[in-house]
Structure 1
Amino acid sequence: MHRLAFGPRRCVIGRQLVAWNPYVSVAHKRQEGGQLSLLKVGTHYAMLLDEPGFGKFPIDLVHLRVDKPEDLDGIEVLWSQIFTAEMAHYSNKLKLIQSTGAGLELVQFDHVPNGCQVAIVHEHQWAIAEWVIMAMVSLNREVLKLDRDVREGRWEHHPINSFSPSGTELNSQTLGIVGFGHIGRQVSKYASALGMRVKVATRNPSSQAVASGYGAESVENLNRLPEFLSDCDHVLVTVALVDETESLIGQEELNAMPDNACLINVARGPVVNEKALYQALHGGHIAGAALDVWWQEPNKPGELPKSSKYDFGDFANVLMSPHASAMTKEVMQRRLQAAYANFDRIKLGEPVEGVV
């Protein structure tokens, strides 16, 4: 049985040991003849099976710490969210860069070697969809405020003191989903099951039949976004960050939202205009926000960037988390399985899944 000694946290999931430690780098090389070298550079996670046979060939690996780019020499498969020019200098045999997630903003594509594929893995849509439901319920029921009231000994909202409930149920509300990929579709299924009216706006509108299959009653193009937002109680942002989606949600879009609406962002921070959102919250133009992604985030160990130039923590109606909506044990397990399946495909000469 293999054991991984470097991680401060470990847990057993099923029949596998999963150990993780942010930003740890671990190289994996096959013992038999070195036919396939596997490398995990865990910018978020480094993981290890406790027994072989996850894929189509036995996984029997020697575990080596990777501390500098030259340790990549001879490696054929890289598991990482980061790829830099310095890493490329030692990656002449690299066949696959397997991202540990769906984000590729830290991969310098100009330096990816010729013939090397880059693949992403999702497997996070269920976890993020749960987080979104949690966020909508928390904002509807003012959970942060009520929690603080009890901690501070205030009882204004106890039934004996209040006959005017401020909470709202999801089943009376409309959810507008901006983006309809893996995450948007799963949220639509969950939200519609709770009785919400769901509608979708996306860059590449699916057919109405596809949208209906996920519980959405309509699907529209992003070019009518202000009109789309005008009757939403909650707006979920879940589009990829590309040139045309930067500041997609700006002053015009926020002003179009009802003043009782909340914005939820699980995409990337810059999809929402930073200043416009702060001003909308400060001026009471929207009722609240749930932010899991930020305009500045750490790119390497030890970094402590300020998440925004504005202090969103001043608002009692803003729920904040550090890009953690997908951080569940189950997501890690599924991503590990998907990554090892791609390692198998490289070994067997089969097409890799998730190539961008």
Structure 2
Amino acid sequence: MRIVFHGENAASFSNGFAELLDAKADIRVLPDVLSGADREAYAAADVIVATKFDASLPVPPGLKLFHVPGAGYDAVDLAALPPATTLCNCFGHEQAIAEYVMSALLARNIPLSSADTDLRKGQWTYWAGAPERVHGEIAGTTIGLLGFGHIGKAIAARAKAFEMKVVVANRSKVATSALVDRAFTLDQLDEFWGSADAIVVSVPFTDETKGIVGTDALAKMRPDAVIINVGRGPTIDEAALYEALKQKTIGGAIIDTWYQYPGPGRANPQPSALPFHELPNIVMTPHMSGWTTGTIRRRQQTIADNVGRRLKGEACINVVREGRNTP
């Protein structure tokens, strides 16, 4: 069995992977840009773990499984994959992303870093006992979840543990429950935008969701509301977000997914063509919310389990496209 981990992202899942398999395997880690012997090894693979596949890459005639080591598979050209290849993705990042969201909301309300900095200078800025020194809390506030998949559900569970109210907007109907106080469908977004103190965007990037948070949506949000993006950057209109923050028509933003990323010839770009980095009311992070040791461990196990299932002719989990002529 020949398994290829293609690219820097996929290589992160290769360490210790052999120990998770039931059978011996020839495991190769290949760079993002293939040449010479690397292309030959790629073309000979039975299993490829990678974030992208297109016509520029060799077509492995015996490829049984192409596994994306994450949820998004928009960089995989389904038409270019061999017909017999099963395509799977994996999740396991919802725990980490939910912790990121909750820590971001807590940090907006509980100024630990500022209090520590000030007290080291002898300044008792947040000392209990006077109303001008109070800080906030998240209990009793409302969190709005645009998208209620793996990530949305994980955030809702943690928000409820902090005694928050949870409202949801989702493509398919969501019933009210112990986790959900109120639910909207996507044709009710005008009502959803103003219903929460914090709105978390976790919908996937599709033609339907591109710019789903635009000028009108931002204008309908509460003036002190914060928007958090842990889905895909372009689900929030870039110019509309910048203008809302610059004009302070919303309370702020916490953005982890962006419009520009590092790539060939662009090692450390700003994450947007617009100067978000000059604004004081945004927290900017480099697409890190789901990238934890726990995420890597959980995704490794999912990939290894699917390798075993595919080679035994058993049904895989998280199937995006079933390969034809499955053994």
State whether TM-score is above 0.5. yes
Query: Which has the higher relative contact order, 1 or 2, with Cα contacts under 8 A spaced 6 or more apart?
Result: 2
Q: Give the 5 Å matches for 1:164-179.
A: 164-165=132-133, 167-179=135-147
Percentage of matched positions with identical amino acids = 29
Say yes or no: does 1:44 pair with 2:12.
no
- Residue 325 of structure 2 corresponds to which residue in structure 1? none
Alignment of 1:1-356 (within 5 A): 36-46=1-11, 47-48=13-14, 50=16, 54-55=20-21, 57-61=22-26, 63=28, 65=30, 67-68=34-35, 69-87=39-57, 89-141=58-110, 146=114, 150=118, 155=123, 157-159=125-127, 163-165=131-133, 167-208=135-176, 212-213=177-178, 215-299=179-263, 303-356=267-320
Q: Distance in 2 between matches of 1:147 and 1:309?
A: 34
| Structure 1 residue 285 displacement after superposition | 0.8
Q: Which residue of the partner structure matches residue 9 of structure 1?
A: none
CA distance in 2, matches of 1:269, 1:316: 19
Q: CA contact under 8 A between 1:119 and 1:353: conserved in structure 2?
A: yes
Give the TM-score normalised by the residue count of structure 1: 0.80
Q: 1:243 to 1:165 in 2, by over 3 A?
A: farther
The one-letter code matched in structure 1 to 2:76 is V
- 1:54 is matched by which residue type in structure 2? L
Which amino acid is 1:72 matched to? Y
Tell me: CA distance 1:49–1:123, structure 2 relative to 1, closer, same or farther (3 Å): same
* Residues 52 and 224 (structure 1), Cα distance of their counterparts in 2 relative to 1, 3 Å cut: closer
Change (3 A) 1:277 1:355: same
Residue identity in the other structure for 1:58 = A
Deviation by residue 1:84-116 (Cα, 9 ceiling, x = unmatched):
2121x3322212110010111222223122221
* Shift in CA distance, 94/294, structure 1 to aligned 2, threshold 3 Å: same
Gaps of 5+ in 1: 1-35
* Equivalent position amino acid for 1:183 in 2: I
**In 1, Cα distance between equivalents of 2:60 and 2:17:** 29
How far is 1:44 from its partner?
1.1
Name the amino acid aligned to 1:116: T
Task: Specify every segment of 5 or more residues in structure 2 that has no aligned partner in the other structure, as ranges.
Answer: 321-327
Corresponding residue number in structure 2 for 1:32: none
Report the CA distance shift for 1:287/1:75 in structure 2 as closer, same or farther (over 3 A).
same
Matched residues in 1 for 2:16 and 2:225: separation?
48
Contact 2:173 2:183 in 1 (8 A): yes
Q: CA deviation at 1:52?
A: 5.5
1:306-350: CA deviation from partner (whole Å, max 9, x where unpaired): 311212122222111111101111110111011000110111011
Match of 1:4 in 2: none
Give the match's secondary structure for 1:128.
helix
- What is the aligned partner in structure 2 of residue 30 from structure 1? none
Shift of 1:143: 6.2
CA–CA distance in 1 between the matches of 2:144 and 2:96? 19
CA deviations on 1:166-187 (whole Å, 9 max, x unpaired) are 6321102000100000000000
C-alpha root-mean-square deviation of aligned residues, in Å? 2.6
Under a length normalisation based on structure 2, what TM-score does the superposition of the two structures give? 0.87
Q: Could you tell me how far apart the structure 1 residues matched to 2:189 and 2:54 are?
A: 36
User: Is the CA contact 1:74–1:91 (under 8 Å) kept in the aligned structure 2?
Assistant: yes
CA contact (8 A) 1:155 1:161 kept: no
In the TM superposition, residue 118 of structure 1 has moved relative to its aligned partner by: 1.4
2 CA distance for matches of 1:161 and 1:190? 30
Mark the CA change 1:119 to 1:258 in structure 2 (over 3 Å): closer, same or farther: same
Q: Which moved more, 1:284-293 or 1:152-161?
A: 152-161
Q: CA deviation at 1:61?
A: 3.5
| Residue pair 2:118, 2:124 contacting (<8 A) in 1 also | no
Displacement of 1:37 after TM fit? 1.5
Distance apart, 1:162 and its partner CA: 7.2
